[in-house]
Amino acid sequence: MAGVIRPFLFILAFLAALTITPAVTAQEAAPLDVIVVSGPLDESIIRFVESAVAEAAAVGSQAAIIQLDSEGALSDGVADLIELFEQPPLPLVVWVGDAPAVAFGGAAQLLIAAPLKAAAPGAEIGYLTPTVAGSSRAIEIVAGPSSFDLFDESVTVEVPIPGLVDVALPSIGQVVVWMNGQEVQSQRGTATLQTAREETGEDGAVRMVPTAQVRFNEPGLFTRTLRLSIRPEAAFFFLVMGLTVAAFEFYAIGPGLASATGVISLLIAGYGLSVLPVRWWALVLIGLGLLVYTAEFQRRSFGILSILATGALVAGGLFLVDAAPQITVSAWGIVLTVLAAIFFYLIAMPVVARARFSTGTIGRDHLIGRTGTAVTGLGPEGTVEVNGARWLARAHREAGIVPGDTITVTAIRGLVLEVDPVSDSTEEGRLGW
């Protein structure tokens, strides 16, 4: 009888083992949430991180990893985020990576506040004050590095730095393995993380391999679109693009795709300028530079004023933001944007404007003798409106035609209408008075 029962007991034990094994595996594979934070910390990204951390805690994640690459903070709300990192609702790790990632100002203070701190070799950390870039306000830093003075300087991570970086690891996968066995304090209490296990390879070597599922969490498309202008050179680019397209549309027959592009560019630029610490006089220089370019384009003359306008644009771009040394401007980005604007005014804008204003010469003779209205002053060239369409026009310098004056078409020279002003007596005669 015992010989018959023993196989059944063995089968029952085997089935029990099968039911227990998934539970252990599930515990080892408890998920980790990686929250990707890139660029200066404005209010939108701060609220995103707070929401992502709260969601990770709510769904039972084992821990949250903040993948950080930020030049600094642009909002006082970073103080709330620092407080959250000091007392997180679940085990929290801040990793400054991938190299050459940076963490300056309020972003560096987030690293200091985190229970576990990591960085990729080659990452740069420092400039702890001010907490908010471009501001004189600061918060008390309750803990920090003891061997480096990073309040006004930065350090490149190569090895662990006491109080600042617990471990220097180049990838998020290695951070996950390093987290295994770490005891972390959070609002849940003290937890021992289980993120990896030992595995023996074919060569007999024992390696640690990740066992936890890693889920990445990034800001939504709308937030990412707004934050396209969160860096100074990007805000400068979108501002110049929007204003340049607006100048072009002034000469166009009517609004089109370019108008939509200009509006979107100005909206994106406006967001960046609203959160960055901008110098108002730099904005004035940018506006004046583009205004001179537009006036020179209208006169078909690019000379000393254009050179001065170029200098104003470059200076306005380089000094647009007052947030150094945390947030600095890329000189190459400014120069390339200015060169693009010059190219547009010198080459692209005349060609496109000529194409939009012009029609075939045949069939335009009927315009001779027609009257219209001056859209711009003619000194001697400008824009007029005849029969509901806008045309490039030319008049004598002594004609003194200003916007709103009535004109008459006297001839057609290629793509340009020759016009004269219409005096009151001429117009009365035409009307039969």
Distance CA 284, CA 316 (A): 8
- 89 or 387: whose pLDDT is higher? 89
Phi (first) and psi of residue 246, to 5 degrees: -60, -40
What DSSP state is assigned to residue 317?
Answer: H
| 386 to 91, 222, 407, 419: CA distances (angstroms) | 72, 43, 9, 11
Q: Which of 190, 198, 199, 196 is nearest to 214 (CA)?
A: 196
Residues in the chain, how many? 433
Dist CA 66 CA 360 (whole Å): 62
416 vs 316, more confident: 316
The predicted model scores a pTM of 0.74
Q: How far apart are CA 301 and CA 298, in angstroms?
A: 8
pLDDT digits (tens, 9 = 90+) for 316-354: 999 999 998 999 999 999 999 999 999 888 887 776 666
d(CA 39, CA 326): 12
Over residues 220-239, the pLDDT tens digits come to 999 998 899 999 999 999 99
Span 62-74, pLDDT tens digits = 999 999 999 999 9
CA dist., res. 109 & res. 126, Å (int): 9
Q: Is 83 left (phi over 0), alpha (psi -120 to 50) or beta?
A: alpha
Q: Calculate the alpha carbon distances from 130 to 11, 71, 134, 135 in Å.
A: 68, 12, 7, 6
Would you say 275 and 42 are in contact if contact means Cβ atoms under 8 Å apart?
yes
pLDDT in the model for residue 13: 44
- Is the predicted pLDDT of residue 174 greater than 70, yes or no? yes
